Homo-oligomer: A and B are copies of this chain.
Amino acid sequence: MISVQEAKNIVLNSTQDFGVEEIPFIKSVGRILKEAIVADRDFPPFNRVSMDGIAIDFQSFKNGQRSFKIEGIQAAGSEQITLQNSENCIEVMTGAVLPNNANTVIRYEDVEIKNGFAKIIPEGICDAQNIHNKGKDGKKGDVLIEENALISAAEIGVLATVGKSLVKVAKQPKVMIVSTGDELVGVDEIPLDHQIRRSNVFTLVSLLERLHIPSETDHITDDKPILKSKIETYLQEYDVLLFSGAVSKGKYDFLPEVFDELGVEKLFHTVAQRPGKPFFYGRVASLNVTEQFVNQTKKNETIVFGFPGNPISTFVNCLAYFYPWYYKSVGLEVDEETAILGEDVFFKPNLEYFLQVKLESKFGHLVAFPVSGNGSGDLASLVKTDAFIQLPNDKTEFKKGEVFPIIKYR
Contacts and interface: CB of A to CB of B under 8 A. Distances in A.
A340 interface: yes
A214 interface: no
A136 B378 CA distance: 9
Copies of this chain in the oligomer: 2
Contacts of A77: 181-184, 194-195, 222
Interface string A164-192: 11000000000000000111100111111
Secondary structure dominating the interface of A: loop
A103 interface: no
Interface stretch (A14-22, A89-97, A232-240, A293-301): A89-97
A390 to B, nearest CB: 13
A14 B217 CA distance: 43
Interface stretch (A280-288, A364-372, A391-399): A364-372
A71 to B, nearest CB: 14
Contacts of A205: 26, 156
Q: Chain B CB within 10 Å — which of A200, A252, A311, A403 has the most?
A: A252
A405 to B, nearest CB: 10
A157 B52 contact: no
Interface string A195-214: 11111101101110110000
Contacts of A107: 249
B50 A375 contact: yes
Contact of A315 (B48, B50, B157, B374): B157
The 10 closest A-B pairs by CB, nearest first: A77-B182, A77-B183, A154-B382, A153-B206, A340-B364, A160-B199, A52-B250, A157-B203, A93-B250, A76-B183
Interface of A: 25-26, 29, 39, 41, 43-46, 48, 50, 52-53, 73, 75-80, 91, 93-97, 107-109, 132, 136-138, 144-145, 149-150, 152-165, 181-184, 187-200, 202-203, 205-207, 209-210, 222, 248-253, 309-311, 315, 335, 337-340, 361-367, 373-383, 385, 403, 409-410
21 contacts: A25-B202, A29-B206, A50-B376, A75-B182, A76-B252, A77-B182, A77-B183, A77-B195, A80-B193, A94-B250, A95-B181, A97-B194, A137-B380, A156-B203, A158-B380, A161-B196, A163-B187, A338-B361, A338-B362, A339-B364, A363-B403
